[in-house]
Structure 1
């Protein structure tokens, strides 16, 4: 407690700066609700300027983030991806936050490089451009040439940024705790959990060694894929504060004129970019979470090159299947399926009116009843779904939020290249494949093996459990009454049910495998599988009717 108090006293000037900025931009109500007016009062009261007073609250919130520096710029960018938490007017405004800020002096950048490498820069590079090619809230990029002639981009973290971010995070966590206690309307969204998630994200972005590993992982995933170019990294000149990676030229993915100037079809470029993201999401479960036009380059041969690897999302195989279930449930007008998929995706909330939620999901489902997956406007669908989630104050897991943002972003980027572009058409085959994969023979065999392991584990534990129970009975600590009437009949019924289930699984595996083989062209083998499956099905029906 003493240490925490000392820390708050040390951060008091920053507290005052943050609260005064909120008050100056018209957020006095927030400061008052947090009961922190006493921190602001000793300072000179600065009234809203006439120009600022004419701005709406979302615009003023963006200006607050820009004025308070890198931590708050990143926080605003994170909030721009959370339409489940903020109205669309706020998310749209925060999405416009400028990440290009004034560069820090090149002398400081060179000093950081020398400190990290422990030797003169002339020993590392043939040349370094002192003028940065890009400058953001966390880092700036300098172009350099290695002694072997390769051109690299040196991403250098801003000096002392780690200390600034650490202090701001302490303040944000304290303010979040106050908000949960004093602002009931915000408490349902768990501000402290949100700040902790933001802390995890920004700390990962500050450590460039994590970004280096992400690039290497993407290189392995897209090895041999001619449509994507992942930049090389120079590990010798990369540290937690510096990242040395290939300097990518090309043109921005939203520069339609330049793409046509390369002799390329913008529509084909849009499809190539979408397929890269879809492959990352549904095949690898590790995807670029910020695929906006500034982070994508098109090279002369039509290859798409993602640039920034600081923000990636992850989805396990089960989550990918649940996403497929959600979209397919919408198309099949299956309200129960949609609700089940949302629950299994952990889209949940407190004090939810289940009847009202079911009614709203039913209305959403009905609005898409005459459409197929290939004709759906996925961006509109996802926005409507997020709107429904927000109305019911449900919370979305962070990686699922990143997924929704990525799909909406890549669709809007694709439509800027080709108005007829439809990402749902690109999604259709892989979603159907995910839906069918759970019935593959290999999957069924794996599940059967897992079940057998569980049974074996229970059988191993059972003797010890019975032994302990009998000892307890002997000591009079446990009273058990057994009724074994009809026990042998129960065993027979359980054995029969197990055999029936096993045959059913085999039949399902045969039918699915035969369907896949038939689609592959081996019709005679598929017919044999169908015949065997039909014979087993008839036997199963006869056996069930005989024992009923």
Structure 2
């Protein structure tokens, strides 16, 4: 795609931004560790502050605000204090005129606002880069929240994304740094997320799915969409009373039994990740509300994380490994799912760093352990050694880090590690039971049926090729003479075994035939065959137990 005149300004703004930050130590922080949580001290280590980066992204426009929010889930690219600042990044945008809102609603839903709702507040409750939210009351008396997309925002996002895709592709073709950080993949991921977020019908479906999956957690609340008043640009859902959970006054918290609340929050997220494979992806404190009924409400399902069956099992094993402080298991799991060049990566150093990190966490008090922070630190160490851990684990680390912050605010002495360890064991049992469902048995049965039907043919074919000396074995990087000799010994022993079997069967048949020559009451010839078979068998047994054992030492 060429640089068109109407895109000139986009390119200029982007290159000004890159010139400022390209050589900044913000994106090349040295040790791969998580600095102090004290923002003032931590920011002094860098030539730009988190606040400066967030303001620059705001000036770039809504697409770059979303890019900043995406970067807040990438601990392999940014230090933690910058991730925390970007996680709460919001646009300073003007509200859309109510007349325009009315036109959009009528075009999307097919009726006027005054007909759809008994009351609709023209003043928005919140206004963001993609849309703004209004409070309304249905004719049934139910209070709802109506989110309406801003006019022209889809076109603007797509144009900015096309520009970023073009620039990132060119950057990777000329810059090794860009290739190492996978800049084009980051932009491609942003494009995928944004196009999903721009379709409110998908968010409505996410709300339905999450509500169904978490129905057994009585202290968790997901607002349900009102599908008759939803479209790709309009989302009507249950209104959530209450406020941000980290803004609840300490006095009110003292009157609540918070342990059951936190239990449901932790267990609900573990179930979403390990069993359901779809999870609310952004539980930062601003998206988690405490309702008047003392329930935890999860807001904004525009972005969800999806985990494949293989990744669900990996996460399960990983959490068990971290809970048991098994550094060897953790490092092996991470390497098995990561991409890296074996010739360039020092795997032994990576394993050693993992071992040190887990040993450090083992010495901490239970209440101070933060699984999310540990995962983020591991992601950073891997990135520094050019080991590319799947994005799924970056998102998992970010989710758990946000949960750590909420738990620390609500119940500072809560042992989150212990809760995770116990509940993960239950989830493992549940997952094993699900694997035993009839559909899996049917698949196994069909595989066994196929094996049973084809096994006689394959054995006959193998024995025919063996008899006709058509079996060929190709082995690289070993001594062919030694291998041939070893194979010959195996063949000889198989032949000897067949001879023993034939002698025993022949002797058993001869025993049934009367003979005038007997030994101990048995026909002499049959007795001789038994003796020969026994001698050959004892010789083979001696070779196996003593000769082979000595050679193996």
- What TM-score range do you get, normalising by the shorter chain? 0.7 to 0.9
Structure 1 residues 45-95: Cα deviation after superposition (integer angstroms, max 9, x where no partner): xxxxxxxxx972654432221011111100011011101122335323423
Do the aligned residues in 2 keep the contact of 1:331 with 1:368 (CA within 8 Å)?
no
Q: 1:396 pairs with 374, 382, 389, which one?
A: 389
Matching residue of 1:26: 20
Partners in 2 of 1:239 and 1:85 — Cα distance? Answer: 36
> Deviation of residue 335 (structure 1)?
3.8
Decide whether aligned partners of structure 1 residues 465 and 166 sit closer, same or farther in structure 2, where only a CA change above 3 A counts.
farther
1:44-443 alignment to 2 at 5 Å?
56=48, 58-99=50-91, 101-257=93-249, 260=252, 263-266=255-258, 268-330=260-322, 332=324, 334-344=326-336, 346-350=337-341, 351-369=344-362, 376-434=369-427
Gaps spanning 5+ residues in structure 1: where? 31-53, 473-477, 492-546
Does the CA-based 8 Å contact 1:438-1:444 persist in structure 2?
no
Aligned residues: 459
Cα distance, 1:264–1:190 mapped onto 2, change above 3 Å: same
Q: Distance in 2 between matches of 1:223 and 1:441?
A: 18
Per-residue deviation, residues 14-72 of structure 1 (Å, max 9, x unmatched): 4344236427x834869xxxxxxxxxxxxxxxxxxxxxxx9726544322210111111
Q: Give 1:146 shift.
A: 1.3
Rg larger for: 2
User: In the alignment, is the contact (CA less than 8 A) between 1:348 and 1:396 conserved in 2?
Assistant: yes
Q: Is the 8 A contact 2:132 2:150 kept in 1?
A: yes
Q: C-alpha separation between the residues in 1 aligned to 2:75 and 2:378?
A: 10
Unaligned stretches of 5+ in structure 2?
25-45, 474-487, 499-543, 546-553
1:204 is paired with a residue whose SS is: helix
Q: Aligned partners of 2:173, 2:161: CA distance in 1, in Å?
A: 19
CA 1:145–1:160 in structure 2 vs 1: closer, same or farther (change >3 Å)?
A: same
Range with bigger deviation, 395-404 or 406-415: 395-404
Residue 370 of structure 1 and its aligned partner are, at CA, apart by 5.1
What's the C-alpha RMSD, in Å, of the aligned pairs?
Answer: 3.8
Aligned-partner Cα distance in 1 for 2:438–2:68: 47
Secondary structure of the corresponding residue to residue 4 of structure 2: helix
| DSSP 3-state at the match of 1:313 | strand
Q: 1:220 to 1:408 in 2, by over 3 A?
A: same
Structure 1 residue 359, shift from structure 2 partner: 1.9
> The residue matched to 1:367 in structure 2 has which SS?
helix
Task: Give, in whole Å, the separation in 1 of the partners of 2:233 and 2:460.
Answer: 60
Secondary structure of the structure 2 residue equivalent to 1:71: helix
1:490 offset after TM fit, Å? 9.7
Aligned pair in 2 of structure 1 residues 438, 205: CA closer, same or farther (>3 Å)?
Answer: closer
Distance in 2 of aligned mates of 1:446 and 1:152: 41
For residues 418 and 321 of structure 1, do their structure 2 counterparts lie closer, same or farther at Cα, with a shift above 3 Å needed?
Answer: same
The TM-score normalised by the length of structure 1 is: 0.73
Shift in Å at residue 284 of structure 1?
2.2
Note the alpha carbon deviations across 1:396-449, whole angstroms, 9 max, x for none. Answer: 322222211111101101212222234223211122335566777975999887
**Retained in 1: the 8 A contact 2:372–2:398?**
no
Give the aligned partner of residue 518 of structure 1: none
Structure 2 vs 1, CA of residues 339 and 438 (structure 1 numbering), >3 Å: closer, same or farther? Answer: farther
Cα 1:233–1:327 change in 2 (3 A) is closer
Distance 1:490 1:427 in 2: 55
CA contact (8 A) 1:250 1:298 kept: yes
Q: 1:20 to 1:329 in 2, by over 3 A?
A: closer
- 8 Å CA contact retained: 2:290, 2:297: yes
Measured after TM superposition, the shift of residue 235 of structure 1 is 0.9
